[in-house]
Amino acid sequence: MTGWICKGAVAVGRVRLLPLLLMVATSLVAKAQAPGEEVRVRSPEGRAEIRVTLRPFSYTVRYREETVIEASSLGLAFKGQAATGEFKVVGREERSVDISSKPVWGKTGEICNRFRELRLDLVEASGPKRRMSLRMRAYDDGIAFRYELPKQRGMEEFVVDRELTGFRLAGNAQIWASTYKNFRSAYEEEYRRQRVSEVADSALIGLPVLAEIGAHAYVTLMEADLEDWAGLYLRRSGSSLLASLSPRTDGNGLVKASTPHRSPWRVVMLADRPGDLVASNLIENLSEASRIRDTRWIRPGKMMWDHWWSGDVAMENGTIERYIAFAGAMGISVPVDRLAVVWTVRQGDGGHYASSCADRHAAAAAICKGAWRSRVVVAALGRCGPGDAAGHA
């Protein structure tokens, strides 16, 4: 990331808008002349590279000229349909992007978004000849790819019952990962250090997964731009970590949607040191822009909450009032992040928080002592709404 210069240019196809991005087309994308040959996309400074083959449909990832993800499977399986056959390329589009943006809040005042991208348009060589695109991006701090399903006859609607994506980390890598018994959990397990081969076959692995490969490469497996798709977990199968999507609650497969549709990005973050992974803005760059037009109300601040999980704190209004009073004395403007939730506790679940708007107004009035801002009381009122807090500002 250091030393990057965002030029604010986007290049599509083979047209480059800046001298910085001028290059021979084959240095960006190596043309595959046959299904068994590789298609390659390299990052702007050449640190990271993704290679894809069609037979078998798989990919590898290299970082600083070393393989970090060995040949790993790609693809989707659909409910009630035959397994996808061999693909052939029927179209492609490549582009280079070098732009920057200013986040509402984050690790950096400016985010540099610099990558090379290739979209391969694929069709089955035989059978139903279903179509799918594989979009790949190469950044200097990681690679990403996603599946895109165009509108097509026979697949107006579809149900995914398996994602075939795999991550075969090189050299039986040492990983730090949290594991779970099922898809319903608090997602708060410890990140244990172990080799890939030591992970139990039955374990459900949550994201992110951190891996140390060789002496100087750190990898994080993640996903980005998750919308209208099932959340990604992993399971070990031999030396690979394979996608295991969270199932639908109605039991009808994993993803039910209509075309056109696309999966989230499957992300491989890359760095020389673990701290560089924390500093990376790769996930932000891969996500869609915010749909919130007016962001002036979003401000950083301090928060606190009662340690309800210990069993030592009574879950009642008095507890919340004491925390709010303490926050007022300490000048914490948005004191308790759980107010909007815990003050709307359902009847019969053992909670004793105020359950009506009238009760919450009374509690808010009792703790407002002139130093409070209206947004604090709005939080305290939960679902009662901002207008109801006017008298307590």
pLDDT for the residue numbered 104: 86
Residues 269 and 339 in one domain: no
Whether the pLDDT of residue 198 is over 90: the answer is yes
Q: What is the DSSP string of 26-54?
A: HHHBPPPSSTTS-EEEE-TTSSEEEEEEE
365 to each of 323, 326, 392, how far by Cα in Å?
15, 16, 6
Residues 342 and 269 in one domain: no
d(CA 203, CA 184): 13
Which residues, other chains included, contact 308 with Cβ-Cβ below 8 Å and sequence gap of 6+? Answer: 315, 338
Domain total in the chain:
2
Tokens of 162: 């398996």
42 and 138 Cβ atoms separated by less than 8 Å: yes
CATH of residue 87's domain is 2.70.98.10
Given the structure tokens 């996500």, which residue do they identify? 287
Stronger pLDDT, 338 or 273, i.e. the higher one: 273
39 and 118 Cβ atoms separated by less than 8 Å: yes
Least confident segment among 102-106, 302-306, 380-384: 380-384
Let me know if residue 302 belongs to a domain. no
Tally of CB atoms within 10 A around 257: 14
Tally of CB atoms within 10 A around 139: 30
Instruction: Using the 3D structure, point to which of 286, 316, 344 is the last residue of a domain.
Output: 286
Let me know if residue 4 belongs to a domain. no
d(CA 33, CA 12): 22
d(CA 101, CA 122): 33
Let me know if residue 301 belongs to a domain. no
Nearest Cα neighbor of 44 from 102, 1, 100, 101 is 1
Nearest Cα neighbor of 276 from 96, 139, 138, 171 is 139
Let me know if residue 379 belongs to a domain. yes
- Vertex 357 angle, CA 295 and 321, to 5°: 80
Q: Residue 309 — pLDDT band, cuts 50, 70, 90?
A: confident
d(CA 256, CA 161): 9
Q: What percent of the chain has pLDDT over 70?
A: 74
Let me know if residue 297 belongs to a domain. no
- What value does the mean pLDDT of the chain take? 80
Let me know if residue 292 belongs to a domain. no
Whether the pLDDT of residue 103 is over 60: the answer is yes
88 to each of 50, 124, 127, 199, 353, how far by Cα in Å?
18, 6, 13, 36, 61
Residues 227 and 360 in one domain: no
Q: What is the DSSP string of 103-131?
A: -SSSSSSSEEEEEEEEEEEEEESSTT--E
| 33-81 pLDDT tens trace | 455 678 999 999 999 999 999 999 999 999 999 999 999 999 999 999 9
Q: Residue 334 — pLDDT band, cuts 50, 70, 90?
A: low
Nearest Cα neighbor of 82 from 161, 165, 150 is 161
Stronger pLDDT, 374 or 331, i.e. the higher one: 331
Instruction: Using the 3D structure, point to which of 286, 320, 343 is the last residue of a domain.
Output: 286
Residues 321 and 195 in one domain: no
Residues 76 and 162 in one domain: yes
| 215-244 pLDDT tens trace | 889 999 999 999 999 999 999 999 999 999
Residues 216 and 353 in one domain: no
Residues 333 and 276 in one domain: no
> Helix 357-367 and helix 317-330: axis angle, to 10°?
40
Helix (H) or strand (E) holding 94: strand 87-101
56 and 42 Cβ atoms separated by less than 8 Å: no
Residues 59 and 189 in one domain: yes
Residues 122 and 262 in one domain: yes
Instruction: Using the 3D structure, point to which of 286, 319, 336 is the last residue of a domain.
Output: 286
Let me know if residue 303 belongs to a domain. no
User: Which one-letter amino acid corresponds to residue 34?
Assistant: A
pLDDT for the residue numbered 242: 98
Residues 77 and 186 in one domain: yes
Residues 210 and 246 in one domain: yes
Given the structure tokens 């992974």, which residue do they identify? 277
**Domain span at 381:** 308-392
Least confident segment among 43-47, 221-225, 357-361, 375-379: 375-379
Instruction: Please tell me whether residue 310 adopts helix, strand or coil conformation.
Output: helix
Residues 351 and 229 in one domain: no
Let me know if residue 291 belongs to a domain. no
d(CA 81, CA 58): 21
Q: How much is the average pLDDT of 141-166? A: 96
